[in-house]
A and B are shown apart, each in its own frame.
Chain A
Amino acid sequence: MNRHAQSAVMFLLGATLLHAGSTDLYLRYVKAGLRPLLLLSGAVLIAAALATLWYERRSASHANQDDHANQDDHANEVDHANLDDHADHNHREPRVSWLLVLPLLALVLVAPPALGSYSAMRSGTALQQAYGYDDLPATGPLRLGVADYAGRAVYDHGRELRGREIKITGFVALDGAGHPYLVRMALNCCAADAQPVKIALTGKIPPVLRPDAWLEATGTYTPERTKDPVNNGPIPYLKVTSARPVATPADPYDETWNN
């Protein structure tokens, strides 16, 4: 890959990072806090691409001038000088640089979705006990995150959940036997470390559940529990009274661990 091609790749990569960082696209892959760094590195890549082109043009025009000035007198010497300059000028990077085109294409053409039910059912629930659980508002329907509900149900024994109407948003995942779960992937840095927190669904479950479909489930606490077959982690149940499909949230991951 010569320098022109390299600067094209750097420019495209920078532009793609800027695009992903300036829309919600980047939230499918990395934590929200990485946005400033993403935009900055995109800008640096574009600057590096432009600088490469600029210095290439300058050295090319210098070389041309030298050519003209020396053409008559030192034909032999010029040949040598040019060869040396040439080797430096076209100093190539190894072929591995071509691989940088892959993430570029993956982001621009495919833009893969956030991790969903396939990854969720392959790993065990990552529920962890919190330091303590804050008091919840005393009245009205409760809107809880998947990890919040699961933590309170398992480690706080549903102390403040009993008899309350609870609304939880997550995506649907089915295990091998077809039992439905409401899942949210928790993320610390990027999707490679994302881990699921699961709630098993019981009660009035919608008849047709499509894996990966986002759902707002309304239901009540039940002390029933099960164990995750993958890592034996605790999974609480939610007794569903109604459920409605919702759009994928802007940030598909649960990032509460980052705060």
Chain B
Amino acid sequence: MAITEEAPPAAAEPTPPPKTDRRPPKGGGKDADEQARHLNSPLLLTMLLLLTLLLQGPIRGALASPVMQSWMTVFVAVTVQALPFLVLGVLLSAAIAVFVPASFFARALPKNPALAVPVAGVAGAVLPGCECASVPVAGALVRRGVTPAAALAFLLSAPAINPVVLTATAVAFPRNPEMVLGRLVAGLLVACAMGWLWLRLGRADWLRPPARASYEGRGRGAAFWGSVRHDVMYAGGFLVVGAMAAATLKAVVPQEWLRAAAGNPVVSVLALAVLAVLLSICSEADAFVAASLSQFSLTARLAFLTVGPMIDLKLFAMQAGTFGRGFALRFAPATFALAVLVAVLTGAVLL
């Protein structure tokens, strides 16, 4: 099944020779030490690839059981599906960081942060992608001087209310068009409420945009590709963490548990909200999964659709990587609680 023949040339060709160290080590011993560690990574990568190539027989044998097979399939599927959207978001975020002057955002958004939040929330509707694209873009907005509250409103609303997602919801719920409205309203409300909450309670030191080399004094090309490389490696690594968690859940936790939960109205809302966090499904596809959870009430399924695009394992990992762990640990539970609350209220009014 595997494409073994193609692996060796692909693995051998592009791996660059370990030639980082052009200059003789200067300065103290610590610097030399650091350099020795840096030197190693291309070598380490080559060794790793060669080793797995040599051991591919035993590795495949160990992965032959049905559980491992389906784990691997879901893991690869989540990664392969999210990577194009991540790359899209990364390109956009690099473009914002390099080509859009900071003054543009100062002019485009209202001066009053409390007003900037809903404007940014509605602006989320124009980013046609899933949540993987919105994290790097929101990070770039913060670095570009947009008030964090507005950038966070954008981060939350973009994957929930863009046209692609709303269309998918309409297709998945042909008999309940009110679900589309419910999703739009609940998504916008949560995004704005979280933005305003950040204005009131948020502290700047919770937010840690990643330290990165400054792009001043370098050409635009170098800055653009530097930003792309940094974001792909950074957010991509966290994407892999999320994909592993989602695959574990999908392959290991039995669905019978859901049936037991569907009976009680309170438990069912919480169960689907937690499920949305654990499954980490792309927001363009979650409506179809929600539609198939037909044993649950519409309100519980609206909670699933509201929580999923705003906070899940994959997103948590990516947010922790982009904005810092201290931020993610506070932001994620607040988002979760607010999203469940708003979904229930919206459901009570609309559904």
- List chain A positions with a Cβ less than 8 A from chain B: 1-13, 15-17, 19-20, 25-26, 28-30, 34, 37-38, 40-41, 44-45, 48-49, 51-53, 55, 59-60, 63-64, 67, 79, 82-83, 86, 88, 90-94, 96-103, 105-119, 122-124, 126, 128, 131, 188-193, 195, 230-233, 257
Decide if B74 is an interface residue (CB 8 Å cutoff).
yes
Contact B237–A4 (Cβ < 8 Å): no
Q: Is B266 at the interface (CB under 8 A from chain A)?
A: no
B34 within 8 A of A: yes
The winner among A59, A88, A100 for most chain B CB atoms within 10 A is A100
Q: How far, in angstroms, from A5 to B44 measured CA to CA in the complex? A: 9
Of residues 85 through 123 on chain B, the ones whose CB sits less than 8 Å from some CB of chain A are 85-88, 91
Contact A190 B292 (CB under 8 A): no
B255 touches A112 (CB 8 A): no
Q: Which of B108-166 contact A (CB under 8 A)?
A: none
Beyond the given pairs A38-B83, A124-B255, A189-B281, 20 more chain A to chain B contacts, judged by CB atoms under 8 angstroms and listed by A's residue number, are: A6-B233, A12-B11, A13-B83, A25-B3, A37-B88, A52-B226, A90-B20, A96-B241, A99-B241, A103-B80, A107-B80, A112-B69, A113-B1, A115-B73, A116-B66, A118-B66, A126-B292, A189-B285, A192-B281, A257-B288
Do residues A5 and B80 form an inter-chain contact, with CB atoms below 8 A?
A: no
| Bound form: Cα–Cα A134–B70 in Å | 35
Which positions 219-249 of chain B face chain A at CB distance < 8 Å?
A: 221-222, 225-226, 228-230, 232-234, 236-238, 240-241, 243-244, 246-247
Q: Determine whether the beta carbon of B16 is less than 8 Å from that of A94.
A: no
Contact among A5, A103, A107, A193 for B240, CB-based, below 8 A: A103
Q: How far is the CB of A8 from chain B (nearest CB, A)?
A: 5
Inter-chain contact B78/A99, CB cutoff 8 Å? no
Which of A8, A60, A63, A107 has the largest number of chain B CB atoms within 10 A? A8
Shortest CB distance A209–B (Å): 16
Q: Interface size bucket, B side?
A: 35 or more
Contact A90 B228 (CB under 8 A): no
Which among A99, A117, A192, A232 is the interface contact of B74 at CB below 8 angstroms? Answer: A192
Given A17-B83, A109-B52, is A2 in contact with B76 using a C-beta cutoff of 8 Å?
no
Q: Is the interface of B mostly helix, strand, loop or mixed?
A: helix
Q: Which residue of B lies closest to A79 (CB)?
A: B26
Q: Is the CB of B53 closer than 8 A to any CB of chain A?
A: yes
| Stretch from B35-43, B191-199, B331-339, B342-350 forming part of the interface with A | B35-43
Establish whether residues B81 and A192, one from each chain, have CB atoms under 8 Å apart when the complex forms.
Answer: yes
* Shortest CB distance B6–A (Å): 7
Give the residues in chain B near A17, CB-CB below 8 Å: 80, 83-84
* Whole-angstrom CA separation of A64 from B14 in the bound complex: 24
Q: Does B190 contact A (CB under 8 A)?
A: no
**CB <8 Å contact, B80 and A190:** yes
Residue from A63, A103, A118 whose CB has the most chain B CB atoms within 10 Å: A103
Q: Name B's A-contacting residues (CB within 8 A).
A: 1-4, 6-7, 10-11, 14-16, 18-20, 22-23, 26-27, 31, 34-35, 38-39, 41-42, 44-45, 48-49, 52-53, 56, 59-60, 63, 66-67, 69-70, 72-81, 83-88, 91, 168, 171-172, 174, 212-213, 221-222, 225-226, 228-230, 232-234, 236-238, 240-241, 243-244, 246-247, 250-251, 254-256, 258-259, 279-282, 284-286, 288-289, 291-292, 294-295, 321
A36 and B84 CA atoms in complex are apart in Å by 9
Name the B residues within 8 Å of A128 (CB-CB).
Answer: 291-292, 294
- Return 17 A-B CB contacts under 8 Å, by A number: A4-B20, A6-B229, A7-B16, A41-B83, A41-B84, A90-B20, A93-B233, A96-B234, A97-B233, A98-B237, A103-B80, A106-B72, A110-B72, A119-B250, A188-B288, A189-B81, A192-B250
Shortest Cβ distance from B48 into A: residue: A101
